Chain A
């Protein structure tokens, strides 16, 4: 009789806890959905307005897409004058792809050099790179711009690409990845097989680092694609400008007198390539956010 009573109380307490948990869960989900809406609302408005004509946009607010997407796209594609967006897309793509490949390859190479070999000053090198990692790039930009102006290096893409070979943060990510995944015995074994040091890196180490390379390739591509500060200072010829610089130029024009549908399309096309990649690789990208940045 008594044990029965206890069971009843137990079951009641159990049920109360269950109800409480369900309520808590529901509230949490509502909060998550609310944040999702905040994240997506502005981009949805961007998409809707990129499908509307200038007259439609001026006529009022709506959440329903219209039919002028391809018309706006064509206008964007044929844009000339101060912001030839098609050329901007090409220029940004060229710079971002070459610089991301260089950044990733040389960061891996440097990290491997520090990780796999015992040389004098090895510890110092790692500490040094860690130290310089936090120095804002704007500090060197003053001297760099003067140097480029003096040497007539402005309007040349290599000045935006080559400095990426020394990327402390990418190096840091790579060396942590190597520590976690590459046993030095493997390097040893490859040596026994008569492979040269350079070949060992290219043929054995790089394939093992594939996941890290892919993540860093994406991050450095995005960083270069989105970069506004230096390209604006270093590239002054219209047909050589990158996308963010063109956006800044369009922004400085009189907005009210421009075809708003076209402007929304330009913004849309600047964001779209990265979003497309993210759609397929979000899982790997999110994993990559943590493994490099926090030592914990």
Chain B
């Protein structure tokens, strides 16, 4: 960033006299022309639907078969319904939020610990590891894989007649098939968290590596001259200086985690089994949407917006502060 800034400074100094000449012919309108497509599309297909979402969240509005009910103003009726206990005695949105957070946290703890360790290994000038390119390529690979295909694969492998159960019986670890997917809440959640870990730890490693490589090399050098151990270098130099980027990556990961959908959806046929223990916020949203209940779906979407909005604001402030 500092580099880029200094380049910009040099540039602007260079072009100062030319700018004054240019004042006669203004090119400013081209700036507007070039950004018009982006903003037209944004207004029509993102902002306008977003406003509709907000409005629907205060309306009774759903389709049932060929009949459409509403839209009719309903004040906070949808929100009240959303935060009311359902027939099985739980508040679904709270349950969905808790599930999402639990599964995100289960994966994220390992994701960040291991990524941090890997990033330190890969950038260590003391270890001088070979084949880091290969390892990085392998660790990042799952991030590009279709999450729904990966979750389907896990279902195929971990169901009661799948290869994992076959292996367990072959080795004598289990005498009858274990239902990993639809009986034990913590087993299903662990599978989801494991998949999220595999899908994302490579990405996090690469981001943290970039962060560590951005730290002034001379700091490491002088610490080593003073005979500091690798542990002390990590805790006294790497970690404190990496903290802003670490927090940034953590919050963006949390925002992504709140939108968790494909993996638990495919693993559990969209039902969030067993007993709604893997139902996420977006799965709940999708449930209302596929029933064309725009009012209730709107309310869920607004809740999601408020939570992510708060978190994004934190990220935004961090980025701005670094710019100043």
Contact = CB atoms under 8 A, between A and B. Distances in A.
A179 interface: yes
Given A42-B153, A42-B154, A109 B34 contact: yes
Contacts of B266: 228, 247-248, 251
A138 interface: yes
Q: Could you say which interface size class chain A belongs to?
A: 35 or more
Contact of B129 (A28, A42, A144): A28
A136 B305 contact: yes
Interface stretch (B81-89, B90-98, B132-140, B232-240): B132-140
A296 B18 CA distance: 32
B34 A110 contact: yes
Nearest to B114: A35
A296 B244 CA distance: 9
A74 interface: no
B245 A294 contact: yes
A117 B34 contact: yes
Contact of A138 (B114, B294, B304): B304
Contact of B126 (A21, A278, A295): A21
Interface stretch (A6-14, A65-73, A263-271): A263-271
Given A42-B157, A118-B31, A142-B53, A274 B145 contact: yes
Interface string A125-155: 1000011111110111111111101000000
B80 interface: no
Select the residue from A21, A125, A251, A285 with max chain B CB neighbours within 10 A. A251
Given A25-B129, A135-B309, A263-B156, A163 B144 contact: no
A10 to B, nearest CB: 15
B312 A113 contact: no
B161 to A, nearest CB: 6
B52 A248 contact: no
Contacts of A275: 141, 144-145
A165 B207 CA distance: 26
B54 to A, nearest CB: 8
A267 B154 contact: no
A267 B156 contact: yes
Interface string A57-89: 110110000000000000000000000000000
A141 B203 CA distance: 27
A184 to B, nearest CB: 6
What 4 pairs across the A-B complex have the smallest Cβ distances? A113-B34, A143-B52, A117-B31, A143-B49
6 contacts: A42-B153, A113-B32, A113-B35, A171-B38, A232-B290, A267-B153
